[in-house]
Structure 1
Amino acid sequence: MTNVRLVAVSAGLGKPSATRLLADRLVTAARERLERQGEEVEVRVIELRDLASDIANNLVTGFPGARLREAVEAVTGADALIAVTPVFTASYSGLFKSFFDVIEPDALTGKPVLVAATGGTARHSLVLDHAMRPLFGYLRALVVPTGVYAAAEDWGGAGDGLTATLPDRITRAAGELAAFTAAARQARPAGPAQTPAGDGAKEKEEAEVVPFEQLLASLRPGRG
């Protein structure tokens, strides 16, 4: 069994930052859920603040430096991705968008992605649906149903009567990411299938198709 490569991208600018804190909590929950499924997990957290100058240089020159190239390869080679950004002017940060502008449009095709964001007030929570989902939809990623938004009052709070608490949302989103990751790994081509040489048939790759109903069933409460 190959290890599951779990990569988180944090676009927080401060140190420490609420964005990195949320990324760490999501990584911990996702790793625990994957390990409960019998997977061995390799974790990598990429801090975009450390790559800001590299990203800017790439946008100007069109050539990524060694550090940025390695980070992009880690993201595109991941089995599952967690993407977390602070909210600036009602959307994701420019640093966050610039990093994903560097990635080839088809490099995240079919990759399970959990989107998350942090902000000062709950009124910015729609950033998950009006900005982040369209971005990863354009990149053809497989975004899990539950996005996680953490406002200032969510840290250590009990939430309100209409929304689940932050730990509940983290747990639910991590479970969905683990389920999507398992399904995506099962659906990968098993490798070229050899046919009798005398028939002149070519090698072909066959992928196991996981029915969408089965994928949804794995997300229901009480499973896993």
Structure 2
Amino acid sequence: MKLVGVSGTLAGEKTAVAVSSVLAAVRHLDPGIQTELIDLRDFEIEFAAGLPLAAYNEDTWNVVQKILSADFLVFGTPIYQASLTGALKNLFDHLPEHAFRNKVTGMVATGLTDKHFLVLNYHLGSILSYFKGLIPTNNVFILNDSFDIETDELTDMQMKERVGKLAKEMIDLQRGIMKRE
């Protein structure tokens, strides 16, 4: 199995650290699962204009293909103005309608205030459902003060435990889906 994590921001480190924490927890639970981080800061994803995928640059094509070929996925976003990032939404605009059929699609978010924790369920979750993704129940919202101020390392033990629960649930759900097929 292959898990692809997407850090859906063009600024800062916390979201990539959060997504990487899920990938590390999955590898800890099952070293046989391949993982890959797609950090949108490392790619030039073109603005979606309704064209066929072949009309876009190589970065856009490669990232979309990595996402489509994954067995399951975890998406991370900081919460800005009670929403996910435009960069992540733009990436979603390049995907076909059934992109996540039979795939678990976990979510992690980072934010300055706990007032935005429901963005995962009501905004990002709705988008993943549209693409037919199976959404776990143990998704994680991580406050910015859960990270070390100098290194951006995730230091909050409760958040680390929650990340571990998400990782386990994602593995269990994806295995269940693959057994049915």
* TM value normalised by structure 1: 0.72
State the partner residue of 1:181: 174
State the partner residue of 1:144: 136
The answer as to 2:121 corresponding to 1:129 is yes
State the partner residue of 1:119: 111
Distance in 2 separating the partners of 1:143 and 1:64: 29
Q: Is the 8 A contact 1:90 1:124 kept in 2?
A: yes
CA RMSD of aligned residues (A): 1.7
Shift of 1:80: 1.3
Shift of 1:91: 0.8
1:6-45 to 2 correspondences below 5 Å: 6-15=3-12, 17-35=13-31, 40-45=32-37
State the partner residue of 1:220: none
Distance in 2 separating the partners of 1:140 and 1:61: 22
Distance in 1 separating the partners of 2:139 and 2:38: 19
User: Residue 83 of structure 1 aligns to a residue in which SS?
Assistant: strand
> In the alignment, residue 5 of structure 1 is paired with which amino acid?
K
* TM value normalised by structure 2: 0.88
Distance in 1 separating the partners of 2:102 and 2:50: 29
Distance in 2 separating the partners of 1:79 and 1:31: 15
Shift of 1:60: 6.8
Question: 5+ unaligned residues in a row in structure 2: which ranges?
Answer: 148-154
Distance in 2 separating the partners of 1:106 and 1:61: 17
State the partner residue of 1:55: 46
Residue of structure 2 aligned with 1:72, choices 64, 76, 85:
64
State the partner residue of 1:200: none
Q: Is the 8 A contact 1:119 1:150 kept in 2?
A: yes
Q: Is the 8 A contact 1:121 1:153 kept in 2?
A: no
The answer as to 2:96 corresponding to 1:100 is no
Q: Deviations over 1:64-97 (max 9, x none)?
A: 2222111111111111101001111101011111
User: Residue 13 of structure 1 aligns to a residue in which SS?
Assistant: coil
Distance in 1 separating the partners of 2:162 and 2:143: 13
Q: Is the 8 A contact 2:78 2:109 kept in 1?
A: yes
In terms of fraction of residues, the more strand-rich structure is: 1
User: Residue 30 of structure 2 aligns to a residue in which SS?
Assistant: helix
**Structure with greater Cα Rg:** 1
User: Residue 92 of structure 1 aligns to a residue in which SS?
Assistant: coil
Shift of 1:49: 2.3
Shift of 1:61: 5.2
Residue 51 to residue 61, structure 1, CA distance change in 2 (3 Å): farther
